[in-house]
Amino acid sequence: MTKNKPLILITNDDGVTAPGINALMAVMAEIGDIVVVAPDKPQSGMAHAITMSETLYLNKISTENDPVTVYSCSGTPVDCVKIAVKEILKRKPDLCVSGVNHGSNSSINVIYSGTMSAVIEAGIEGIPAIGFSLSDFNWNANFEEIKPFIRKITLETLKNKLPKDVVLNVNFPKLKQKDIKGIKICRQAKAFWAAKFHKRETPQGRDYYWLSGEFTNPDQGEDTDEWALNNGYISIVPVQFDLTAYHATKQLNTWNWNE
């Protein structure tokens, strides 16, 4: 291990065996010393959940002679970041990367995403952090096309410094490298998931439901991540975890709270 190499923590929400995290490991191994701590099973849609009423298990998957240290954890992506920082890493990492997610985490998905919640948790803990997602849910998605961009974005982030309390949400369109038009700094599109419940019956006659939904985006702004992805660009949204709606404070202060 070279002393000057950055220490990079890698996690995801699709689980430690996902092709997406392997792509990320391959790129990061050329940039720094990497440690992988990822969920032992898929954790999509877990958002910023933490495990408080159950126990956590940690399994070292790599052996002493492996070039990379890999752990799986029985918890959520946020648990992975917490346990990595507190129990595994000897010092605070220089960077935390999460992904590459199988499927986009643009727009409102940043709130449901385990991938991005791991990134936000790192941000809360003062670690520069980037989430990468590819707009392709296929388990065998082609991550080769985006590797040069992952490398570029990571190096640029390490060279410059992220603004305080800001992490990056990077989404890639499903395109060949040569067809990607470039990188755009965007805002989160104001979209939502129109929920749909599939009602079924157990063999014993009890009703149950499957949650699904349809992504609905009425926001046609050309400065959004959705626009960028739909027009051949890689979107980068700077993400904050101070949820205070400062713009609403003045209006709320005119209400009669204390009479």
Determine if residue 44 is labeled as part of a ligand binding site.
yes
- Residue tagged 């992504």 (tokens): 215
> How far apart are alpha carbons 166 and 120 in whole angstroms?
8
**Contact call for residue 31 and its own copies (CB under 8 A):** no
Which residues face 69 on adjacent strands?
Answer: 35
Determine if residue 14 is labeled as part of a ligand binding site.
yes
Binding to its own copies in span 201-220, by CB under 8 A: 206-212
- Residue tagged 């009669």 (tokens): 256
**Contact call for residue 18 and its own copies (CB under 8 A):** no
**Contact call for residue 142 and its own copies (CB under 8 A):** no
- C-alpha distances (whole Å) from 169 to each of 33, 67, 138, 199 are 22, 28, 20, 34
One character per residue 220-239, x = contact with its own copies (rule: CB under 8 A)? ----------------xxxx
Angle between helices 19-29 and 147-159 (to 10 degrees): 50
Q: How far is the CB of 34 from its own copies (least distance, A)?
A: 21
> How far apart are alpha carbons 186 and 190 in whole angstroms?
12
Binding to its own copies in span 68-107, by CB under 8 A: 75, 78-79, 82-83, 85-87
Q: Which of 12, 72, 117, 133 binds its own copies (CB under 8 A)?
A: 117
> How far apart are alpha carbons 245 and 1 in whole angstroms?
44
Q: How far is the CB of 18 from its own copies (least distance, A)?
A: 14
Nearest C-alpha neighbor of 18 from the set 34, 33, 3, 40: 40
Determine if residue 13 is labeled as part of a ligand binding site.
yes
Determine if residue 160 is labeled as part of a ligand binding site.
no
Size of the site for its own copies (CB under 8 A): 79
Nearest C-alpha neighbor of 167 from the set 118, 112, 129, 125: 129
**Contact call for residue 178 and its own copies (CB under 8 A):** no
Q: How far is the CB of 48 from its own copies (least distance, A)?
A: 4
**Contact call for residue 246 and its own copies (CB under 8 A):** yes
Tokens of 71: 């752990």
CB-wise, 25 or 189, nearer to its own copies? 189
Q: Which of 90, 91, 178, 247 binds its own copies (CB under 8 A)?
A: 247
Which amino acids are annotated as binding site for a divalent metal cation, given as ranges?
Answer: 13-14, 44, 101
